[in-house]
Amino acid sequence: MKKKYKKKLTGGKILIDCLYKEGVKVIFGLPGVQMYHAIIPILDYKNMKFISTRHEQATTYMADGYARAGGGIGVAMVVPGPGLQNASAGITNAFASSSPVLIISGQINRDKISRNVGILHEINDQRDIVKPITKWQKRIIDTKNISNSIKKSFLKMRSGRSRPVHVEIPPEALSEFANYSKYKSLKVPSIKINKKSLEKASKIICKSKNPVIWAGGGIHLSEASSKLLALAKYLQIPVLTTPEGKGAISDKHYLSIGVLKGRSIGNSKDPLRDFFYTCDVILAVGTRFATASPKKNQQVIQIDIDNNEIGRNHKKTLGIVGDASKVLTKLLSKIKMKMKIKSEKNKKIIFEQMRYQRYNNPKNQVEPLSSYVKALRLGLPDDSILVTDMTTIAYHTRSYYKTYNPRSYFTSSYSGNLGSAFPTSLGVKVAKPQQIVVSISGDGGFLFNSQELSTALQYNINVIAIVFNDKSYGNVKRDMRTMFKGKILGTELKNPDFMKLANSYGVIGLKAKSPNDLKKCLKKAISINQTVLIEVPIKQMPSPF
Ligand SMILES: Cc1ncc(C[n+]2csc(CCOP(=O)(O)OP(=O)(O)O)c2C)c(N)n1
Ligand SMILES: [Mg+2]
């Protein structure tokens, strides 16, 4: 028998080698004593980068941004206890966004685990913190188990619905030696698509009079955009996207009719909602379908990789479990057997009119929100990437910022993390250094993570950070005023001077006093090609909903 190639390495070295073999090029981390043996071996890998942040929150936000932008699996490395706790906001974001992020945390010494002895960074049991926000958790006690556990982690992230995974390793397992054989990734099993459901779905779609597609973030995850467009074009079906799905179809295409206005319950007045209710069949693809609120009689066909999502929010649902790209391909070939291609003639006029009313008719614009959103679009190249925080103008972008490419518009999904946009944008830029990456935050949200301006500078991650400054938690203020007869509490903010803040980090600061100014500042920031902070002083904004 041929002898297997084996050598003895430290656990830390094995860990990093496994990550390298899985294709990891960058680790976002913050070092500490239990992690030294995992971090130093990174020096042996010339193609691997360790990006150190100024707070653990940013490690996971950056890893999430990196993954969602298409960089591959995002990896964050933190110390146990408070380090993992600090990282949890970003893990929540990644969980909500079905983002493949591997969180590697330390642990206390092996023999002290679960004993409540009170040693550095001990939380008994820290896995309880991440359990609700990870797909899978693994405690690796022995060096010899590192390789297999890492293989399994990657399999978990790559198969079915991608979501964060947590691995914890005590320091001895990182410093001790074990045999290490050649590393080989585990094969991701493919999901069998149910033929009967597929046949049924194709029949329903062919018979329908007025179908619509409801496309979610799963389209990006499955790289299914071209398949979606092919099906939409064949039958001239208009496409609505969720905020997470923006860019699934280009907003330049007449079949892209927009994103419904509304908070998470989707109850805002919107002509698109009226149109949505006229549709007899809704083809929902890669979406939780949580905000659609269809009428009882509307037939939903739901394509999702996660069986648990099917029909969760609507009774009359026919489900097809599988990868969106593969299901759409099969569905279209079934449809082609039943129906001829539909002409675009009549539909094109109708949808172009709808789009004109939505984006251009002054009667339908909310000012100054609309002008700011238009300025963003005019100031940025088509292939820019926009990362949005929980701020009023960002809410408006969900329905009114035209997006032209997949994976080029990001929210914090249902998690709604204030403060997420700026650090997420840094991870996005690391994955897509050739593209212009912009974050939009309010004054409240930006100061959650403004310290990461330092990280941007240190690693030449040249993003543009826009801060809309109304000197308050403006959304909350507006809500309170409306709901409690003008009363407010806890909403007024004393801010630093944002220009001085930028300068103190060595970042260029620009001030935009109007939408037109914002457009000019964006052009200038792009030409500078360094990290730029643009402050936009604003008054209390009207509701975007
Ligand atoms: C982690 C977290 N904490 C609190 C909130 C609640 N919240 C939503 S919007 C908002 C105000 C945001 O203020 P700012 O960033 O200045 O944007 P503005 O509302 O003024 O446009 C708050 C506090 C949240 N979404 N997430
Ligand atoms: Mg504000």
Q: What is the pTM of this model?
A: 0.97
pLDDT tens digits for 325-355? 999 999 999 999 999 999 888 889 999 999 9
Domain end marker among 337, 357, 377: 357
- CA nearest ligand 1 atom 24, residue: 418
Q: What's the CA gap between 382 and 372, in Å, rounded?
A: 17
> 391 and 442 in contact (C-beta within 8 Å)?
yes
Q: Is there a cis peptide before residue 111, judged by omega within 30 degrees of 0? A: no
Domain range for 87 is 7-181
Measuring from each residue's beta carbon to the nearest atom of ligand 1, which residues come in under 6 Å?
390-392, 416-418, 441-445, 468, 470, 472-476
Nearest atom (ligand 1) to Cα of 468: 21
Domain end marker among 155, 181, 207: 181
Domain end marker among 308, 339, 357: 357
- Return the closest-CA partner of residue 23 out of 102, 93, 98, 91: 102
Query: Is the same domain home to 208 and 145?
Result: no
Q: Who's near 120: CB < 8 A, 6+ residues apart?
A: 33, 34, 81, 108
Nearest atom (ligand 1) to Cα of 446: 15
Query: Is the same domain home to 253 and 115?
Result: no
- Return the closest-CA partner of residue 414 out of 249, 294, 291, 541: 291
- Compute the average pLDDT of residues 477-500: 97
- Return the closest-CA partner of residue 201 out of 310, 292, 309: 310
Choose which residue among 93, 369, 390, 488 to substitute to test ligand 1 binding: the one with the highest number of ligand atoms within 8 A of its C-beta.
390
Residue type at position 135:
K
Q: What's the CA gap between 542 and 414, in Å, rounded?
A: 22
Q: Is 114 exposed, middle or buried (0-12, 13-18, 19+ CB in 10 A)?
A: exposed
Q: Under DSSP, is residue 476 helix (H, G, I), strand (E, B) or coil?
A: helix
> 440 and 468 in contact (C-beta within 8 Å)?
yes
> 228 and 285 in contact (C-beta within 8 Å)?
yes
pLDDT in the model for residue 346: 81
Count of structural domains within the chain: 3
Q: Minimum mean pLDDT among 175-184, 203-212, 356-365, 459-468: which range?
A: 356-365
Q: What's the CA gap between 281 and 301, in Å, rounded?
A: 7
Query: Is the same domain home to 380 and 351?
Result: no
- The answer as to whether 15 is a domain residue is yes
φ, ψ of residue 499 to 5 degrees: the values are -70, -40
| Residue 4 reports pLDDT greater than 60 | no
**Ligand 2 centre and the CA of 537: distance in Å?**
10
Q: What's the CA gap between 223 and 106, in Å, rounded?
A: 34
**Ligand 2 centre and the CA of 7: distance in Å?**
56
- CA nearest ligand 1 atom 11, residue: 473
Q: What's the CA gap between 511 and 371, in Å, rounded?
A: 17
- The answer as to whether 417 is a domain residue is yes
What 8-state DSSP symbol labels residue 36?
Answer: H
| SS3 readout for 364-420 | HCCCCHHHHHHHHHHHCCCCCEEEECCCHHHHHHHHHCCCCCCCCEECCHHHCCCCC
* pLDDT, the chain, mean: 96
Q: What's the CA gap between 153 and 441, in Å, rounded?
A: 33
The single residue listed with the structure tokens 């693809």 is 285
Query: Is the same domain home to 377 and 503?
Result: yes
Q: What's the CA gap between 238 and 217, in Å, rounded?
A: 17
CATH number of the CATH domain containing 373 = 3.40.50.970
- CA nearest ligand 1 atom 5, residue: 418
Would you place residue 267 in the very low, low, confident or very high pLDDT band (cuts 50, 70, 90)? low
**Ligand 2 centre and the CA of 96: distance in Å?**
24
Ligand nearest to the CA of 541: 1
- Compute the average pLDDT of residues 244-270: 88
Query: Is the same domain home to 72 and 89?
Result: yes
pLDDT tens digits for 146-184? 999 999 999 999 999 999 999 999 999 999 999 999 899
Query: Is the same domain home to 68 and 135?
Result: yes
Choose which residue among 413, 418, 478 to substitute to test ligand 1 binding: the one with the highest number of ligand atoms within 8 A of its C-beta.
418
